Amino acid sequence: MCCIVTQSDLDQDDVAASLLPILPDAVIGLDRLDRVTHWNEAAERTYGISAAEAIGQRLSDLVETVYAQDDEAVARREVHVQGRWHGFVRQITSSGRSVEIESTVAVLYDQNGSIRGLLAVNRESAESELTHRASHDSLTGLPNRAVLMKGLADSLNRLPALIGGKRRLAVLFCDLDGFKDINDSLGHAVGDQVLVAVAHRLRRRCRSADVVARFGGDEFVVVMGVDAAADAIAMATRIIEVLDEPIVIGDAVVSPGVSVGITVVDKVPDGEDPVASVLRDADTAMYHAKGRGRGRYELFDADLRDGIEERLGLATAMRRAVGDGELELVYQSRRTCAGRRVTGVEALLRWRHPELGVLAPEVFLPIAERTGRIVELGDWALRQSLADLADLGELEPGHAGLSLAVNVSAKQLVGGRLARTVSRALSESGVAPDRLVLEVTETAFSDDPATARQVLDELKALGVVIALDDFGTGWSSLQYLRGLPVDLLKVDRSFVADLPGERAAGAVVASVLGLGHGMGLLVVAEGVENAETLSVLREMGCDEYQGFIDGEPGALPDVLR
């Protein structure tokens, strides 16, 4: 069934126009010259002509297109263009074929010529569909974020007496652990099907009274009434278990996994936006769970809140750190194992906070990563360290061949401008590219391996040296390493520290040495703190080392002296 309406009628009724995409019947809009102005999805399905092809064409020409096909195709589509235009029955004749246009959907126009009569039969079901679409996620069918926020606000207002006699409200923030890898390796179509399967499992696992909503992307939120935090923990455990089970999509078998953050409240939180506060607490707990290994839950508590407040304070203060000159660099020497000759230095970032004193990188770098300021800090460290090295060459010509190692974060690596930044910094400093060592950790490749490798190729084209830092702690594999333009491996300090007593640590170091030397790479051991460890490394054939055995990191001239 098809209804034909005029452009002016659509202009007079915005609601009717908004319903056209979801009507089950084909609806075609025409202007006064018979040109198509609207062609909804049902019309596309009925006549096999897309909206892009139809809009702007005369209706008579489109009818000719339809009847130009073979009779079997016409019969299969049951082509009937029906409707009433300007109050009289009209016929369109094309190529000797005639199609009658007359109304079969109640009355197309009322006395005022409005489209309201046309939709009299379908308006109720269409408006119901429109309401559902506005409140539910189009992919999974779960309630969307807007519905979640409203429902959460209503539940908080009912505390401390929720439906079913529950006196506490639990919010579980669920984030899939391996969804990006699924999208990247299998495609977004498979990813969408995984999200649908996840939504189905969540809905099936939770109770009928619980709210299960899609928050966005691969994030889902469960809101439930509980008697105690243990009830929420039990639900989180069940969710983790059910999403760890394999999902079969065609020939692919995936296990997305999930990290769950939980917050439980028995009263409305203080502040102007209690809903945002509760969601933020659950989200924070979820990120804490991911940081502790993924595939687990974390319950939000006062300690996490204190940590958040501290991190927020540091994140705010970090905005001024670069401009106010609060950042500084210290250096650690790199030496040969055989003769302890200095071959290079590594630049290490410190933050001299005006109130808290000197902050170590493990305190503020995770915050910089989370807020995105790690790129700004990394760019500053690169430029400043190259400037320091250039100044040293003028003061102490004997160190003209000294190499400089600078750490590169994952966000810098895939940010799209690292090669340009390095090229500009080298040009400004006058330091030869082969003296710059860029250290990248294995984990920097986990989010976007293809982009990371492309950027490394661009950096190698500049002539810089690439080092793989903390080797042995990430997703190392020979095939993965073989495809990277790497010149140097750095054995993680966690293995070096256990030498010579820990047999397993010795086996790891020996394996890295064999792998690196077999591929023609220089191998450097990190975290060497005593002569005994250095002696073992020397016997194992390690090339170079760095660590506190040579003193604390300090100013560049002091470290070299």
Query: Is residue 500 reached through a cis peptide bond, with omega within 30 degrees of 0 on the bond before it?
Result: yes
> Is residue 222 in some structural domain?
yes
pLDDT at site 110? 44
Are 243 and 288 in the same domain? Answer: yes
pLDDT band at 121 (very low <50, low <70, confident <90, very high): very low
> Is residue 256 in some structural domain?
yes
One-letter amino acid identity for 401? G
What mean pLDDT do residues 144-148 have? 89
Are 273 and 199 in the same domain? Answer: yes
Pick the most confident of 79-83, 408-412, 543-547: 543-547
pLDDT at site 49? 82
What mean pLDDT do residues 71-81 have? 37
pLDDT at site 50? 83
Are 155 and 227 in the same domain? Answer: yes
Are 65 and 162 in the same domain? Answer: no
Are 125 and 148 in the same domain? Answer: no
Phi/psi zone of residue 223: left (φ > 0), alpha (ψ -120 to 50 degrees), beta?
beta
Give the residue from 72, 106, 131 where a domain finishes: 131
Q: What is the pTM of this model?
A: 0.53
* C-alpha closest to that of 423 among 392, 394, 382: 382
pLDDT surpasses 50 at 346: yes
* CATH number of the domain residue 345 falls in: 3.20.20.450
Lowest mean per-residue pLDDT among 109-118, 328-337, 514-523: 109-118
pLDDT at site 27? 74
Count: domains in the chain: 3
pLDDT at site 41? 80
> Is residue 309 in some structural domain?
no
Distances 508 to 385, 473, 547 between C-alpha atoms, Å:
32, 11, 19
Give the residue from 104, 131, 158 where a domain finishes: 131
> Is residue 427 in some structural domain?
yes
Top pLDDT among 297 and 54 is at: 297
Are 415 and 542 in the same domain? Answer: yes
Contact 488, 466 (CB under 8 A): yes
pLDDT surpasses 90 at 97: no
**pLDDT 10s digits, 27-68:** 777 776 778 887 888 778 777 788 888 888 887 677 656 545
**pLDDT 10s digits, 407-441:** 998 888 887 789 999 999 999 999 999 999 999 98
pLDDT surpasses 80 at 304: no
DSSP count for the chain of H helices, then E strands: 23, 21
Top pLDDT among 548 and 49 is at: 548
pLDDT surpasses 60 at 118: no
Are 346 and 462 in the same domain? Answer: yes
Lowest mean per-residue pLDDT among 202-211, 329-338, 367-376: 367-376
Lowest mean per-residue pLDDT among 212-216, 267-271, 368-372, 493-497: 368-372
**Average pLDDT over all residues of the chain:** 78
pLDDT at site 443? 72
* CATH number of the domain residue 165 falls in: 3.30.70.270
Lowest mean per-residue pLDDT among 153-167, 259-273, 448-462: 153-167
Phi/psi zone of residue 106: left (φ > 0), alpha (ψ -120 to 50 degrees), beta?
left
pLDDT at site 400? 66
Top pLDDT among 306 and 232 is at: 232
Phi, psi of 220 (to 5 degrees): -130, 150
Top pLDDT among 364 and 545 is at: 545
Q: Round to whole Å and give the CA distance between 83 and 104.
A: 7
> Is residue 486 in some structural domain?
yes
Are 268 and 332 in the same domain? Answer: no
pLDDT surpasses 50 at 78: no
The SS3 call for residue 168 is: strand
pLDDT at site 112? 36
pLDDT at site 480? 61
For the chain, how big is the Rg over CA atoms in Å?
A: 33
> Is residue 30 in some structural domain?
yes
pLDDT at site 495? 85
> Is residue 456 in some structural domain?
yes
Are 112 and 140 in the same domain? Answer: no
Give the residue from 250, 285, 300 where a domain finishes: 300
pLDDT at site 214? 93
Are 74 and 149 in the same domain? Answer: no
What mean pLDDT do residues 170-178 have? 93
User: Which residues touch 68 (CB under 8 Å, ≥6 apart)?
Assistant: 95
pLDDT at site 5? 53
Task: State CA 31 to chain mean position distance.
Answer: 45
> Is residue 319 in some structural domain?
no
What mean pLDDT do residues 500-523 have? 87
Q: Round to whole Å and give the CA distance between 279 and 286.
A: 10
Are 126 and 160 in the same domain? Answer: no
pLDDT at site 114? 34
Q: Round to whole Å and give the CA distance between 138 and 21.
A: 14
pLDDT surpasses 60 at 404: yes
pLDDT surpasses 80 at 454: yes
Q: Round to whole Å and give the CA distance between 10 and 493.
A: 71
pLDDT surpasses 50 at 107: no
pLDDT band at 104 (very low <50, low <70, confident <90, very high): very low
Are 109 and 142 in the same domain? Answer: no
**pLDDT 10s digits, 124-141:** 554 555 566 677 888 898
Domain that holds residue 69: 2-131
Top pLDDT among 397 and 191 is at: 191
pLDDT band at 334 (very low <50, low <70, confident <90, very high): very high
Phi, psi of 109 (to 5 degrees): -130, 140
